[in-house]
């Protein structure tokens, strides 16, 4: 199989494989966590990173999700496909141990997982349970710290660590509820990790897409209203798609973003600029 076939982009509706700008990520190896199906933001990231030449490790949360994730990972020819549920003790370390054994180093990590129990997500922040808040923080924020800690010794030549946030971390968004404080903590974590890892040439970012119709987003109450409002308010009156998010992630992972770290990068068609 030739190189062109290896790097064919699986999202042609927004990207023409014949007009790629080059193999700027060739030789880089990275881990993508959070793919649930073909509509996942993490899959948009994985497909674009692969299209630019990166070698990928991908994870699935459990046996049920493996049925959906494995075919996608195979479609973009991920080198490693591993189980990873961040709530299961030892699984995160096992994934990084496998990367160390197979690759010996790591260039980037994409963290695209978030969760809050339904009752806590749909209720007022003031009414959230301690258990629900702790679970949301563990999965959505603390797991990012854990991944950075495990990635640090593998990033011997520098690297990039990215997570996904949302505008609700900055402003009150109806029905986003407890995930607002959780994502605010995540963005603060990005800044602190960037400061701590900067002397090792490890850059850290949060990427903040607009509302996207993913499986995770479907748990937000009245999500369709949120989408309609975003389309009405954004300058171009549209949503972004997962491929557009993926292209920005590819830029941040690459050398073109070497002068940036600690930032939250908005990929929301300008929605965050509109009052």
Task: Please give the positions annotated as active site.
Answer: 166, 176
Contact of 150 with 193, CB cutoff 8 Å: no
Structure tokens at 214: 């993913």
For residue 159, count CB atoms less than 10 angstroms from its CB and return exposed for 0-12, middle for 13-18, buried for 19 or more: buried
How many angstroms separate the Cα of 191 from the Cα of each of 7, 163, 257? 33, 12, 16
- Collapsing DSSP to helix, strand or coil, 52 comes out as coil
**H helical segments located in the chain:** 3-6, 41-51, 63-75, 91-102, 118-122, 130-137, 143-151, 179-197, 223-233, 242-253
Please state, in angstroms and rounded to a whole number, the distance separating the CA atoms of residues 169 and 181: 6
Please state, in angstroms and rounded to a whole number, the distance separating the CA atoms of residues 88 and 83: 10
From first CA to last CA, the distance across the chain in angstroms is 51
């Amino acid at each position: 199989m030739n190189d062109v076939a290896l790097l064919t982009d699986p999202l042609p509706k927004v990207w023409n494989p014949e007009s790629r700008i080059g193999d700027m990520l060739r030789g880089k190896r990275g881990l993508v966590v959070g793919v649930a199906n073909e509509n996942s933001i993490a899959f948009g990231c994985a497909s674009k990173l692969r299209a630019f030449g990166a070698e990928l490790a991908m994870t699935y949360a459990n046996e049920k999700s493996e049925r959906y994730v494995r075919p996608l990972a195979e479609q973009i020819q991920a080198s490693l496909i591993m189980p990873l549920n961040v709530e299961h003790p030892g699984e995160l370390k096992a994934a990084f141990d496998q990367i160390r054994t197979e690759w010996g180093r790591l260039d980037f990590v994409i963290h695209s997982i978030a969760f809050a129990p339904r009752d806590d997500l749909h209720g007022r922040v003031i009414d959230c349970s301690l258990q629900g808040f702790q679970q949301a923080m563990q999965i959505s924020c603390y797991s990012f710290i854990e991944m950075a800690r495990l990635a640090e010794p593998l990033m011997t030549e520098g690297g990039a660590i990215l997570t996904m946030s949302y505008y609700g971390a900055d402003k009150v968004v109806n029905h986003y509820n407890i995930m607002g404080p959780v994502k605010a903590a995540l963005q603060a974590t990005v800044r602190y990790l960037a400061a701590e890892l900067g002397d090792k040439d490890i850059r850290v970012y949060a990427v903040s897409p607009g509302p996207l119709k993913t499986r995770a987003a479907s748990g937000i109450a009245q999500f369709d209203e949120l989408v309609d409002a975003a389309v009405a308010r954004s300058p171009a009156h549209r949503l972004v798609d997962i491929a557009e998010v993926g292209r920005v992630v590819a830029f941040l992972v690459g050398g073109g973003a070497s002068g940036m770290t600690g930032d939250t990068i908005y990929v929301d068609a300008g929605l965050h600029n509109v009052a």
